[in-house]
């Protein structure tokens, strides 16, 4: 009887550890061999990021496996990323000076002594300053990658890299839009408002659960009470709906999340679906839409441009080819008054609102009419969710 009890306790502990690791897979210890691969990958990613920031294309070529077609595709993506960062920084009159990188590796598969498949979550903390100023500011990006690493002549390279890049997301040309008439828009900073305002709850939720981007809370993980749609079209709008729910909005027959199946309906989890719902339900007002020069130019209605009228808790829909493909929530302003956003899929923490979007992107700017009373709660019970959200 005593041994039966001991065995039952051991099984319970093991099963509990397994369930917890599904919520927080970083707690699963790596083997020494896996630790070595993680260190190699981190070194490659750091070299890639430093080469991109410094514009050292030759150094980039040393990261990717010579002669492999998939590696050349990854190299081309990295070069485009470098071109976009230069274009965006130049148009915004700022300089990105450094990036601190860390890597989480939920899955490592050894295919052979010289070939490894790695599911990696790369977290990047970017530092930037405006032209003529010394003060430095930060924003965070989190990117999920599927890497193939290969050792060639005893040197490890990236053979392939499949990911969604938050510095070139759903874009068609790797060039940033310029302000109207060559001007850099200047935005007034608007206070968040009282702490019992629904917008404050939405912003607080977004900052806590924005994921792998440096600066996000919850140890870099999503809210395990909700399913993640990464790998299934993206989790950006699911995340925004969670923030709206946390702010006190009631679910409806059009906008809801099924706790039993872990599925949200179209308005809950689809960028265009949410935009349609916001318009039809009256929960938000579309204050402007258009390309970057249009929504940043001064008008009688918006002296600082329509973007300057965005407040924390407001939303931005990013439109490509006539349809919303991404949604982000405004969470504040940088010291120049530029709105910054949080989002999922390409996880973001306090990132300038237009980073990663090109000259043809159109933006829909939504002022959200939040409930003013205390919200009933911030999340459903996680009991029915067993999916890894990392």
- Pairing relation of β-strands 323-333 and 257-258? unpaired
Residue 379: pLDDT over 80: no
Helices (H), the chain: 2-23, 32-54, 57-61, 69-92, 198-209, 236-246, 266-269, 271-281, 292-296
187 pLDDT tier (thresholds 50, 70, 90): low
Range with the lowest mean pLDDT among 79-88, 142-151, 247-256?
79-88
Cα 336 to Cα 61, 92, 367, distances in angstroms: 36, 11, 21
Question: What does the pLDDT read at residue 188?
Answer: 56
**Contact criterion met (CB below 8 Å) for 305 and 319:** no
Q: Can you count the helices (H) and strands (E) in the chain?
A: 9, 12
| C-alpha of 206 from chain center | 11
Residue with tokens 């009688």: 300
Instruction: Among 16-30, 56-70, 202-216, name the most confident range.
Output: 202-216
Dist. CA 44–CA 60, nearest whole Å: 10
Question: What does the pLDDT read at residue 372?
Answer: 74
Segment 159-182, tens digit of pLDDT: 999 987 655 544 445 567 776 654
Range with the lowest mean pLDDT among 6-10, 44-48, 50-54, 231-235?
6-10
Dist. CA 160–CA 40, nearest whole Å: 15
pTM, 2 dp: 0.85
């Amino acid at each position: 009887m005593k041994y039966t009890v001991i065995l039952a306790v051991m099984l319970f502990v093991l099963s509990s550890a397994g369930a917890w690791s599904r919520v927080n897979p970083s707690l699963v210890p790596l083997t020494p061999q896996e630790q070595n691969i993680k260190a190699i990958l981190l070194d490659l990613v750091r070299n890639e990021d430093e080469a991109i920031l410094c514009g050292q294309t030759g150094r980039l070529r040393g990261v990717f496996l010579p002669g492999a077609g998939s590696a050349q595709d990854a190299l081309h993506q990295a070069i485009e990323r470098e071109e976009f960062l230069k274009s965006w920084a130049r148009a915004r009159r700022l300089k990105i000076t450094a990036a601190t990188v860390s890597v989480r590796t939920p899955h490592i598969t050894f295919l052979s002594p010289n070939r490894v498949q790695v599911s990696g979550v790369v977290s990047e903390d970017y530092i930037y300053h405006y032209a003529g100023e010394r003060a430095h500011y930060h924003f965070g990006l989190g990117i999920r990658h599927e890497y193939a690493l290969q050792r060639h002549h005893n040197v490890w390279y990236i053979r392939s890299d499949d990911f969604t890049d938050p510095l070139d997301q759903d874009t068609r040309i790797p060039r940033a839009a310029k302000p109207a008439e060559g001007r850099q828009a200047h935005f007034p900073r608007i206070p968040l408002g009282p702490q019992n305002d629904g917008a404050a709850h939405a912003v607080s939720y977004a900052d806590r659960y924005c994921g792998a981007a440096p600066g996000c809370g919850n140890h870099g993980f999503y809210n395990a009470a909700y399913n993640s749609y990464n790998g299934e079209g993206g989790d950006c709008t699911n995340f925004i709906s969670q923030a709206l729910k946390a702010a006190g909005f009631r679910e409806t027959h059009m906008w809801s999340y099924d706790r039993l199946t872990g599925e949200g309906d179209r308005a809950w989890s689809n960028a265009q679906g949410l935009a349609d719902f916001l318009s039809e339900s009256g929960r938000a007002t579309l204050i402007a839409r258009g390309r970057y020069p249009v929504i940043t130019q001064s008008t009688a209605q918006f002296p600082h441009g329509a973007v300057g009228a965005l407040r924390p808790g407001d939303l931005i829909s990013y439109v490509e080819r006539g349809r919303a493909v991404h949604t982000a929530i405004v969470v504040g302003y940088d010291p120049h008054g530029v709105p910054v956003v949080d989002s999922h899929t390409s996880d973001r923490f306090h990132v300038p609102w237009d980073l990663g979007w090109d000259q043809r992107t159109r933006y829909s700017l939504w002022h959200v009419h939040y409930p003013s009373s205390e919200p009933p709660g911030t999340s459903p019970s996680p009991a029915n969710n067993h999916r890894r959200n990392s």
